[in-house]
Amino acid sequence: MKERATRWKDEWNDLPEGMRRFATRIGPTDEHVLLLGPPGSGKGYLARILHELSPRAGGPLVTRNCGVFTETPAEAQLFGHIKGAYTGATDSKPGVVAAAAGGTLFLDECGVLTHAIQAMFLIFLETGVFSRLGSQTVHKADIRIIAATNRDLGAAIAEGKFREDLVARIPFYYEVPPLRERRREIAGIVDCHFRANGR
């Protein structure tokens, strides 16, 4: 399986054993995944490996940081919108869910999503269907979700800031160890970041 992750084959042996076991076991499945860990620990790096190992490797890997869902409604950025759905919506646009169809959607910093968006996303995870903001038309999208956060979701759930049923809907999670404990792979993570950004 690790041979399929051709972009990371040189760095594979530098990964912690637990991370390799998790990637080898969960990567080839179609299950949604939640990655936990501090900033800069390589959650996006692991998400790319999971995508490459999956049956969806030939499809898109769409990455979005939920922390930037501010200027435009988060609902529109996730699910798309039609013309006139809100002030400034001068045309219709698909969201990242539609863009990831047939592939993987990596939602970084999902812990900042509002309760309303969490509820919408829970419905999507349960049904696979969604509507664009301002439209009643129902669309389907076959995607795998890999979500990540550096927040303590247990505390957030206890404080009523995050939905327990949304976390329960994601069957697998992995706590990514801090990068200070994995110095051998720093170069690989940096290289992966620059490749992902076309540099």
d(CA 141, CA 197): 25
| Backbone dihedral angles phi then psi of residue 146, each to the nearest 5 degrees | -120, 115
pTM: 0.84
Domains detected in the chain? 16-196 (3.40.50.300)
Q: What angle do CA 34, 137, 57 make, to 5 degrees?
A: 35
Average pLDDT for consecutive 10-residue bins of the chain (199 residues)? Answer: 51 79 95 94 91 95 88 85 91 95 97 92 95 94 96 95 95 85 52 51
Place of tokens 């505390």: 155
